[in-house]
Amino acid sequence: MNKTIAAVERYLSEVLGVQSKARPWKETGNLPFFLTNYYEFYEISLWEHPCLLMIPEEDVDVLPAALKKHRDCVQSEWDGCCIYVQEAISPHNRQRLIQHRVPFIAPGNQMYLPDLGIDLREYFQQSKSSKETLSPATQAVVVYTLCHATTEGYTASTLIKELGYSRMTLIRAFNELEAANIGVIDKRGRERCWSFTGGKRELWNQALPLLSSPVKQRIWIKGKTPKIQAGFTALGERSMLNPPSICTYATSTEEWKTWKEAVVKTLPISEGATAELEIWHYDPSLFADGDIVDPYSLYLSLRDTEDERTEIALEEMIEKIEW
């Protein structure tokens, strides 16, 4: 974790001109074990303000609801500003942390310290040299890999057949993965070959901050419905959560084009609708498990939902996966 601390110190000195060293925090002994196990704590002083940095052991994207509880718990043992630190925070989590006024530092990218009057969102915007989300096609490659047995040895040629994208799009996808440091690309003969040498769980954790919801549009429809279940209907199948009375389905943009005129009517409200339809950025049938969308895309499609029971159901679903 020294690497993250060094990055934070460098970032603070670069952006704020603060030359301050972080030192490990000797905690009071009152913190529950899972917190001391899950996070590392460092003290640092910012313009005479004592601050406590909490850094998750693994570089995972903690869900804001859980994080808020953890932070409140730590805050009761610390008399000063308690700051969450993570190298790569997904855009939607970043937004929600700001909404909840949770101070955080994403070294190299952004910091939000409302108690000290610092909100460096603009700096972040200027410096977004690397893109903050993967393109839909690149995300499709990641989800495809997560849905298959191996994480190694994918060439553009095999993915063209499996995903139906053009060669150029797959080449761009490989470039994005390379730029984001997700897996490695080596040459097999002349052809580039993408591999992720860690397990699928690591791939998921590493890619998660860069993944976004596959849902482009949600609409109410009346008439024939597609086959693949998505949204809360799918989550009901994959967790203990009760499904809604009106089913949700997913479709690709291409399929929707052919349905739009002939088969179904769209409605402005749920009243009288036979289904809710999600139009996706990529084809949900590529990864569907029977009639239900894959759990990874499902997680991404619902993680913006501000509802604790949904968050818990999503977490449970991911925990249940046999990586």
User: Shortest distance, CB of residue 260 to DNA, whole angstroms?
Assistant: 10
Residues 6+ apart with CB under 8 A from 104: 83, 84, 85, 86, 89, 94, 97, 111, 112
The smaller minimum CB distance to DNA, of residues 76 and 166, is found at 166
Measure CA 144 to chain center. 16
User: Shortest distance, CB of residue 128 to DNA, whole angstroms?
Assistant: 10
The smaller minimum CB distance to DNA, of residues 130 and 166, is found at 166
The smaller minimum CB distance to DNA, of residues 156 and 313, is found at 156
Residues 6+ apart with CB under 8 A from 159: 141, 144, 165, 170, 173
Alpha helix (H) ranges present in the chain? Answer: 2-16, 33-38, 64-75, 91-99, 121-126, 136-146, 156-163, 167-179, 200-207, 231-238, 253-262, 295-302, 308-320
Measure CA 52 to chain center. 25
The smaller minimum CB distance to DNA, of residues 13 and 217, is found at 217
Distance CA 154, CA 167 (A): 13
User: Shortest distance, CB of residue 117 to DNA, whole angstroms?
Assistant: 28
The smaller minimum CB distance to DNA, of residues 71 and 281, is found at 281
User: Shortest distance, CB of residue 289 to DNA, whole angstroms?
Assistant: 22
What is the residue whose two structure tokens read 């849902």?
A: 215
Show the 3-state SS of 77-141: CCCCEEEEECCCCCHHHHHHHHHCCCCEEECCCEEEEHHHCEECHHHHHHCCCCCCCCCHHHHHH
User: Shortest distance, CB of residue 288 to DNA, whole angstroms?
Assistant: 18
The smaller minimum CB distance to DNA, of residues 78 and 174, is found at 174
User: Shortest distance, CB of residue 280 to DNA, whole angstroms?
Assistant: 10
The smaller minimum CB distance to DNA, of residues 196 and 282, is found at 282
User: Shortest distance, CB of residue 190 to DNA, whole angstroms?
Assistant: 4
Considering only CA atoms, give the Rg of the chain. 22
Interface ranges with DNA (CB under 7 A): 133, 135-138, 156-157, 164-169, 171-172, 175, 187, 189-192, 216-217, 253, 257, 281-282
Q: Which of 252, 230, 232 is nearest to 241 (CA)?
A: 232
